[in-house]
């Protein structure tokens, strides 16, 4: 089979398309014929040995992917050959024609949802829901500040917060991205300057964010960016607000804890992979809520680009360079 392979740690340019054996299907696994793979920032970290998980090489990146079950392990129940599912894997494997994955990591794709939507939907929207609702305790009428609001997870957060009746402030890196965030439900927003930001620029950004969030501040800060943008966002948070740490696209920040004290706020980490491992039943409940909103047309992943498998490295590079808007998909084969 064809697969995009990481043989040595490095940037996307080190990935190669190769012929490799089809993976065996273990007793608790299913073998999928992959149709579409959603590109994630963890893919970029995974191939450089900078992620929490380090799979044995050679391996294929791709942590979220959709496909058709072609084989089931002896211990698998509830999944059948021919069924369409979306799968998640902390160790990649989705940028290949076939992937073996734990049956428990698969979610059946409902009728009417295309494979591309499935590969773009579940990881991002589950992360955003878990962050906003379960960690940030979001309620209708509150103010949500989303950093990186035009990325896949960011747009999911914008849509979910809007569907829940929150006021959404989008912080993005270009006017085009701000337009996209507004189209997906953001009430207002700001285009921040490219990092690095000196102290003067950080103070100015904090003042702009405070103005946009209003006198009470942001009840929830949803941060997938980090870096020099974290402290200004923390300065704009409400008393007893929630600062949700989702990712570090601009680097790992150093939050001044005196601000946490002065704001009486909570800083909460959001790690969906570990949450799924510790409470799989809770994640299933999230999926039910998200699919209901999808069926009602309130949630829709924005797919800005589709790449063939032989350009998968380019797809990861586009996401890592923050050139993409919404979700980027690698197409493995034609699907529904």
Give the per-residue pLDDT at 336: 37
What angle in degrees, to the nearest 10, is found between the helix axes of 175-183 and 152-163? 40
**Mean pLDDT, residues 70-82 taken together:** 97
The pTM of the full predicted model, rounded to 2 decimals, is 0.90
Q: What is the pLDDT of residues 216-226, one digit of tens each?
A: 999 999 999 99
In a domain, 50, yes or no: yes
In a domain, 138, yes or no: yes
One domain for residues 144 and 86: no
Please name the residues in contact with 301: beta carbons below 8 A apart, sequence gap of 6 or more. 117, 120, 121, 124, 125, 152, 155, 156, 326, 327
**Mean pLDDT, residues 247-260 taken together:** 94
C-alpha 157/C-alpha 270 separation (Å) is 13
One domain for residues 150 and 74: no
- For the record, the structure tokens of 21 come out as 């054996």
Dihedral (C-alpha) 18, 97, 288, 328: value to the nearest 10 degrees?
Answer: 50
Domain that holds residue 181: 125-272
Of 324, 289, 274, give the one whose Cα is nearest residue 154: 324
CATH number of 314's domain = 3.90.180.10
Q: What is the pLDDT of residues 167-176, one digit of tens each?
A: 999 999 999 9
Of 36, 298, 302, give the one whose Cα is nearest residue 177: 302
One domain for residues 70 and 166: no
Given a cut of 80, is residue 283 above it in pLDDT?
no
C-alpha 193/C-alpha 323 separation (Å) is 15
Domain count, the chain: 2
Of the pLDDT bands very low, low, confident and very high (cuts 50, 70, 90), residue 37 is very high
C-alpha 107/C-alpha 85 separation (Å) is 5
**Mean pLDDT, residues 225-235 taken together:** 97
Of the pLDDT bands very low, low, confident and very high (cuts 50, 70, 90), residue 335 is very low
Given a cut of 90, is residue 281 above it in pLDDT?
no
- For the record, the structure tokens of 241 come out as 């607000």
In a domain, 255, yes or no: yes
One domain for residues 143 and 258: yes
Q: Which of 272, 288, 319 is the last residue of a domain?
A: 272
In a domain, 336, yes or no: no
One domain for residues 215 and 241: yes
Of 261, 194, 263, give the one whose Cα is nearest residue 233: 263
One domain for residues 166 and 199: yes
- Burial profile 178-193: b = 16 or more Cβ within 10 angstroms, e = fewer: bbbbbebbbbbbbebe
One domain for residues 250 and 136: yes
The enclosing H or E element of 145 equals strand 143-147
Cis peptide before 58 (omega within 30 of 0): yes
One domain for residues 131 and 66: no
One domain for residues 150 and 258: yes
One domain for residues 56 and 92: yes
Give the per-residue pLDDT at 334: 59
Q: Strand 218-223 vs strand 237-245: parallel, antiparallel, or unpaired?
A: parallel
In a domain, 283, yes or no: no
One domain for residues 263 and 326: no
Mean pLDDT of the chain: 94
In a domain, 75, yes or no: yes
Cβ atoms within 10 Å, residue 223: 28
If you ran DSSP here, which 8-state letter would residue 24 be given?
A: P
C-alpha 48/C-alpha 66 separation (Å) is 24
C-alpha 264/C-alpha 270 separation (Å) is 19
Cis peptide before 249 (omega within 30 of 0): no
CATH number of 167's domain = 3.40.50.720
Q: Which of 272, 294, 316 is the last residue of a domain?
A: 272
Handedness of CA 306, 152, 118, 22 (dihedral sign): positive
One domain for residues 217 and 139: yes
Contact 329, 67 (CB under 8 A): no
- Burial profile 160-169: b = 16 or more Cβ within 10 angstroms, e = fewer: bbbebebbbb
C-alpha 34/C-alpha 65 separation (Å) is 7
């Amino acid at each position: 089979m064809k697969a995009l392979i990481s043989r040595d740690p490095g940037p996307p340019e080190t990935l190669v398309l190769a012929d490799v054996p089809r993976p065996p299907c273990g007793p608790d696994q299913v073998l999928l014929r992959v149709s579409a793979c959603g590109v994630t920032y963890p893919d970029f970290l995974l191939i450089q040995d900078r992620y929490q998980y380090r799979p044995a090489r050679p391996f294929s990146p791709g942590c979220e992917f959709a496909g058709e079950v072609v084989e089931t392990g002896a211990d698998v129940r509830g999944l059948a050959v021919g069924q369409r599912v979306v799968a998640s894997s902390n160790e990649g494997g989705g940028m290949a024609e076939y992937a073996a994955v734990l049956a428990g990591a698969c979610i059946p794709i409902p009728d009417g949802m295309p494979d591309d939507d499935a590969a773009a939907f579940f990881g991002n929207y589950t992360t955003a829901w878990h962050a906003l609702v379960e960690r940030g305790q979001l309620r209708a009428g509150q103010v949500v500040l989303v950093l990186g609001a035009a990325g896949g997870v960011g747009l999911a957060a914008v849509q979910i917060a809007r569907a829940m009746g929150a006021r959404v402030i989008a912080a993005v890196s270009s006017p085009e991205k701000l337009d996209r965030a507004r189209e997906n439900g953001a009430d207002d927003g700001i285009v921040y300057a490219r990092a690095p930001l000196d102290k003067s620029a950080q103070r100015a950004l904090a003042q702009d964010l405070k103005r946009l969030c209003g006198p009470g501040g942001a009840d929830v800060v949803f941060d997938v960016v980090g870096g020099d943008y974290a402290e200004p966002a923390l300065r704009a948070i409400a008393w007893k607000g929630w600062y949700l740490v989702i990712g570090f696209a601009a680097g790992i920040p150093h939050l001044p804890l005196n601000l946490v004290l002065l704001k009486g706020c909570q800083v909460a980490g959001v790690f969906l992979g570990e949450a799924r491992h510790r409470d799989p039943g809770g994640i299933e409940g999230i999926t039910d809520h998200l699919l209901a909103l999808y069926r009602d047309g309130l949630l829709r992943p924005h797919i800005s680009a589709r790449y063939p498998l032989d350009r998968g490295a380019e797809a990861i590079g586009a996401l890592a360079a923050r050139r993409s808007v919404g979700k980027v998909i690698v197409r493995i084969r034609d699907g529904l």
